[in-house]
Structure 1
Amino acid sequence: MTRPTPEVQALIDLATAHFPPLGTEMTDIAEIRAFFAARPRPPVTPLPVAGVADQDAAGVPVRVYDPGVHENAPVILYCHGGGFVLCDLESHDGFCRALALATGATVVSVDYRRAPEHPFPAAPEDAYTALLWAAETFPDRRIAVAGDSAGANLATVLTLLARDRGGPRIVCQALYYPMLDPTRSRPSHRENGQGHFLTSDHLRWYWDAYLPERADRTDPYAAPLAGADLSGLPPTHLVTAGFDPLRDDGQAYEAALTAAGVPVEAHHYAGMFHGFLTMAADGLPEAAEARATAFGFLRAALGPH
């Protein structure tokens, strides 16, 4: 069995050390969020963008990043990861700044309601409300959706909702190590379930918090791999990582999209782990390469046509 390189393992160990034992020793959401709030954070100088503003998107908080390229810049609606339970606008602020600067797009980061207080369908409905707001606030602009992990679930669910509800039109979707299947039944969940930062215990706890009603686990708006009709979805950029428990789910989604006639540009990073795209600033060359490729896809898809 292959193992991460020493450099990658050191980052996995560092990330793990700053993450609580979810689903085993720690299950109370207030305690978990207090743990995250109390974590020491190294001082970071935010990447400068022309404008950053917290706004109200019809009742859903969003943060809008204006790269200052031109007045009619395209829009990327971004949904952050965190298992539908953790993370927020602050946790993904640096990534969204980098995304705006690299693509020249206005990035709208969505602060959707989180489980367990607000289980499915609160998160996708909030994301869809924000999408409608973005389409109205920035009329006649090309719109993409993107997200990481649970946020990638919400991004692709947005393409289903937009198709089924008659809009807004989404020109492409970018899915970074998506969390798509509550059954957690594919081999990578066993092969990578421990020791690679994201664990099988985390995923079980996340899904239980997000989908307490068992009947929702086959709803395509919650679990897009549960037999959803994927026809008519926009071109897709999909990233998977070799040491990620979600690896096989992402690759199964690639196959399902392709079978449905959706153009897919898939990139698999065999030596990487869940969450690696946000670690380009930690001296991880593979993350910098993957980020450049991912942002390049969005820039090309949203450019002049």
Structure 2
Amino acid sequence: MRRPVLDRLDPRARPLVDALTRAFPDLGGAVTDAAEARRILAAAPASRKVPPAVGAVVDRTVPGPPGAPEIPVRLYVPDQDRHPAEPRPTVVFFHGGGYTLCGLDSHDATARALAARSGAVVVSVAYRLAPEHRFPAAVDDAYAALCWAAEESPALGGDPGAIVTAGDSSGGGLAAAVSLRARDEGGPAIASQVLLYPLLDAAQDTRSYRENAHGYFLTAAHLRWFWRQYLGADGRGAHPHASPLRAPDLRGLPPAYVLTAGCDPLRDEGLAYAARLRAAGRRVTTAHCPRMFHGFLGFPELLPDAVRALAGAAEAIESTGGGRKNSGGSGGGAG
């Protein structure tokens, strides 16, 4: 197991990173097939953690893009006793996994935590995965699910003026991409976006890609493999819906909460996107955890930084309400 010479990781996180590294498929090395990688992950022992309690969980499908199948989603309704106020924000959440792995079950705890902490309705979306369905299939599914959630928000107890796009890693990239689409295609109106160590640029040429290329669970080699699965041979990585950081104009986008981790190859693209949103006149709250790794949000029972980051994301969601608190303006954030 290759570790960096100067380990910048929080000592509490190092045992987790080493265990994850042993368990995670050697993508592009010993494991080259996405289906095999999914089988390896599915065979991993189930977590014994007690998931955060919510009022109700409902699995269903919603209409997909024209000519595409329906999209599985999982609805999380907060506990009415803890969060009695309605209408409430509606969060459309996209899971990570490099556009290739994971799904509703792998991100159940994160979606539950956001619903339980914020009092929002969370719609977790199982978009089509690569390489079977390459770009822009995931973006098309994500946008279709967003349109459904916005239309159905009142029936879900939500405020149609408080729609939030959210996601981690590649899901954060989808949350940013559908915000661009909604701006450019006439809606639906999005009040805020919550981007959790987002994947935003296919260029893979930042300093953090070099500094965190190995030794911190997610590697630069993993990310190269994920992008190959997602984009295929013909590329199109420069398209703004694949690489939102490359969008020529970020004006008119929703305010954002952007979380980054210091020991993550994706660190610099998240920081750059937050800076560009601010330069475009949008309010941005940033949270930076310098000694954390990509994926640390999954371990709030072990990592205080994960607890604080989830609380920050939930606060950003809870404060969303028809643009009353988060509309426009430039702003800074605490990191």
2:101 aligned with 1:82, yes or no? no
Match of 2:307 in 1: 288
Deviation (angstroms), 1:301: 2.0
Alpha-carbon spacing, 1:29–1:2, altered in 2? closer, same or farther (3 Å) = closer
Amino acid at match of 1:63: R
Moved more, 75-84 or 249-258: 249-258
Task: Quote the residue 2:56 is aligned against.
Answer: 51
After TM superposition, list the pairs within 5 Å mapping 1:191-202 onto structure 2.
191-202=211-222
- Correspondence 1:144 to 2:155: no
* Counterpart for residue 135 of structure 2: 120
Matches within 5 A, 1:88-103: 88-103=103-118
State the one-letter code of the partner of 1:11.
L
Q: Which residue number in structure 2 is paired with residue 240 of structure 1?
A: 260
| Corresponding pairs, count | 304
Alignment pair present for 1:104 and 2:125: no
Query: Do structure 1's residue 6 and structure 2's residue 21 form an aligned pair?
Result: no
Structure 2 SS opposite 1:190? helix
* Alignment partners' CA distance in 1, 2:99 and 2:224: 12
> C-alpha offsets along residues 5-26 of structure 1, whole Å, 9 cap, x if unaligned?
3221111112212211111111
Say if 2:200 is the partner of 1:180. Answer: yes
Q: Secondary structure at the match of 2:258?
A: strand
Structure 1's unaligned 5+ residue stretches are none
- Are 1:61 and 2:72 an aligned pair? yes
Give the secondary structure class of the aligned counterpart of 2:14.
helix
Matched-pair contact (CA < 8 Å) for 2:197–2:261: yes
Cα distance in 2 for residues equivalent to 1:220 and 1:286: 31
Preserved contact between residue 144 and residue 302 of structure 1 (Cα < 8 Å): no
What letter is aligned with 2:53? Answer: P
SS in 2 for 1:175: strand
CA drift of 1:90 comes to 0.1
| 1:124-155 residue CA offsets vs partner (Å, 9 max, x unmatched) | 11011101111121235221110000000000
Q: Does 1:259 align with 2:279?
A: yes
Q: Deviations over 1:180-224 (max 9, x none)?
A: 111100111011010100001110000011111445111101111
C-alpha spacing 1:267/1:20, structure 2 compared with 1 (3 Å)? same
Give the AA of the match of 2:54.
Answer: V
Which of residues 242, 259, 267 in structure 2 aligns to 1:222?
A: 242
Confirm or deny: 8 A CA contact 1:254 1:264 kept in the other structure: yes
After the TM superposition, which of the residue ranges 112-121 and 250-259 deviates more from structure 2? 250-259
* 2:144 equivalent to 1:129: yes
Closer/same/farther in 2, CA of residues 51 and 303 from structure 1, 3 Å limit: farther
Superposition TM-score, scaled by structure 1 size: 0.95
State the shift of 1:46 in Å.
2.9
The DSSP-based 3-state class of the residue aligned with 1:239 is strand
Residue identity in the other structure for 1:253: Y
Distance in 1 (alpha carbons) for counterparts of 2:188 and 2:37: 36
Check conservation: 1:74, 1:106, Cα contact below 8 A: yes
What's the TM-score, normalizing by structure 2? Answer: 0.87
Give the number of the structure whose residues are more often helix, by fraction. Answer: 1
Matched, 1:16 2:56: no
Q: 2:30 aligns with which of 20, 25, 29?
A: 25
State the identity as a percent: 48
Q: 1:217-255, CA deviations, whole angstroms, 9 ceiling, x for partnerless residues?
A: 111011112243211001110011110001111111112
Runs of 4+ in structure 1 displaced over 6 angstroms? Answer: none
CA contact (8 A) 1:157 1:221 kept: yes
Secondary structure of residue in 2 paired with 1:118: coil
Partners in 2 of 1:213 and 1:261 — Cα distance?
37
Q: Tell me, in whole angstroms, the C-alpha distance in 2 between the residues paired with 1:17 and 1:147.
A: 25
On the 8 A contact 2:164/2:190 being kept in 1, the answer is yes
CA shift at 1:102, angstroms?
0.7
CA distance in 1, matches of 2:297, 2:317: 15
Question: Aligned pair 1:190/2:214, yes or no?
Answer: no
Q: What secondary structure does 1:34 align onto?
A: helix
1:170 aligns with 2:190: yes
Q: 1:299 aligns with which of 307, 310, 318?
A: 318
- Deviations along 1:148-191, one digit per CA (max 9) or x if unpaired, are 00000000111101111111110000101111111100111011
